Amino acid sequence: MRRAPSSGAAFVALLLFLFGRVRCSPEYSLGRSSSPATDGLCALLIRPSGYPCSEHTVETKDGYLLAIQRIPHGRNTLKGKPGPPVFLQHGLFQGGDTWFMNSFEESLGFILADSGFDVWVGNVRGTRWSHGHTTLSVYDKAFWDWSWQELAQYDLLAMISYVYSVTNYKVSYIGHSQGTIMALAAFTMPDMVEMIESAALLCPISYLDHITSSFVLRAVFMRLDEMLLSMGIHQLNFRSDTGVQIIDSVCDGHVDCNNLLSSITGENCCFNMSRMAYYLEFEPHPSSTKNLHHLFQMIRKGTFAKYDYGFWGNLLRYRSLRPPAFDLADVPDSLPLWMGYGGKDALADAADVQHTLEELKSKPELLYIDNYGHIDFILSVKAKDDVYGDLLRFLKSRGCSSSY
């Protein structure tokens, strides 16, 4: 007989049932097929807030069709020449909506547009806002055969190249969590970095040696990633029944999931829990089990390297027994970097941030906030004063002036 779900998993299931508008249809849980003109991020979240917004589709080298949104100026700005381009890249199990979830006075995407920037919003493969693949169905195993390595090498390169070609300006990059893993890997590639004006990394991750998340550490200990792959589960969708059962299996009797968010990300000082129902209308987004497996490889091995296929698989793909590392020393010291991180972050631990800093040739500008957790940097009701003021100062001081 199946045991009753733990209180944490039951709480998540209840929230998703009551507030998340869970749909098992392909349009949400497995990728979008409806028109972005009526059901895209612009139509559902950005334009209703009073901002101009257009939808764009970009094809990656390996055939994925990604959605990008453009907010060329703020609510009260007369239509004219757009300001300097800024590209926003979300984290794991998130989409471009994450930059617009609070009020226009509190959300970074809106703040940047109102500050005179030409805001572009990225959405990686598999998320609600992106548009599938040129040949693969979302029901195909091959559709989910990717990790953050492909997100850096294909998705990010395609999206930044598109913004660069449309605007004819170098792009200022802002990423959070997985968006920083993608960036740090991509910035080791000359073709990418020549299109980047500057980069701001919120909760930067390249190493995960000192992760303290009780939920994640339990999942790593269980070898959850390997079990899911062996069971043929290649899509991770926590809006589905299977996703809730996965959460249940990690929480049950081992992790206190009464506050599931804190169990995963660490304590967040300024996250507005009263808006949880609204957040769950848009998140979490799907990702791939292979992506989770790659992240767990980083935790187990203490490396910032390409996906490990095992000895024979590595020989076939990389011509070496071990997957090649991404060398942070290859990130040019001429690229201006800014990093914001917190003392309560259980995923981007301060010790791992220091490890990253030691391997970079440059000296990034740093903002450390002792009581901030992983989610505070994008959803804190105080982030405008605590974080975004310093971030805007950095952008403008590095040639990204809103008076283009």
Q: Which residue among 345, 349, 352, 386 is the active-site one?
A: 345
Q: Which residue among 133, 293, 294, 374 is the active-site one?
A: 374
Side-chain half-sphere CA neighbours of 257 within 13 A: 25
Which residues, including other chains, have CB under 8 Å from residue 404's CB and lie 6 or more apart? 81, 82, 83, 84, 169
Tokens representing 372?
């901030």
119: left (phi over 0), alpha (psi -120 to 50) or beta: beta
Q: Are 151 and 185 in contact (CB under 8 A)?
A: no
Active site annotation includes 210: no
DSSP-based three-state secondary structure for 88:
strand
For residue 284, is the peptide bond before it cis, meaning its omega torsion is within 30 degrees of 0?
yes
CA distance 324 to 233: 27
- What's the residue count for the chain? 404
Q: Which residue among 177, 198, 213, 240 is the active-site one?
A: 177
Which residues, including other chains, have CB under 8 Å from residue 54's CB and lie 6 or more apart? 42, 69, 70, 72
Buried b or exposed e, range 196-216, using 16+ CB within 10 angstroms: bbbbbbbbbbbbbebbebbbb
Tokens representing 113?
């547009």
Element counts in the chain: helices (H) and strands (E): 20, 10
Compute how many other C-beta atoms are within 10 angstroms of the C-beta atom of residue 319. 8
Active site annotation includes 345: yes
Which residues, including other chains, have CB under 8 Å from residue 315's CB and lie 6 or more apart? 321
Active site annotation includes 177: yes
Query: How far, in Å, are 65, 131, 230, 232, 306 from residue 142 at the CA level?
Result: 15, 16, 15, 12, 19
CA dihedral 59, 60, 61, 62 (to 10 degrees): -100
Residues serving a catalytic function are: 177, 345, 374
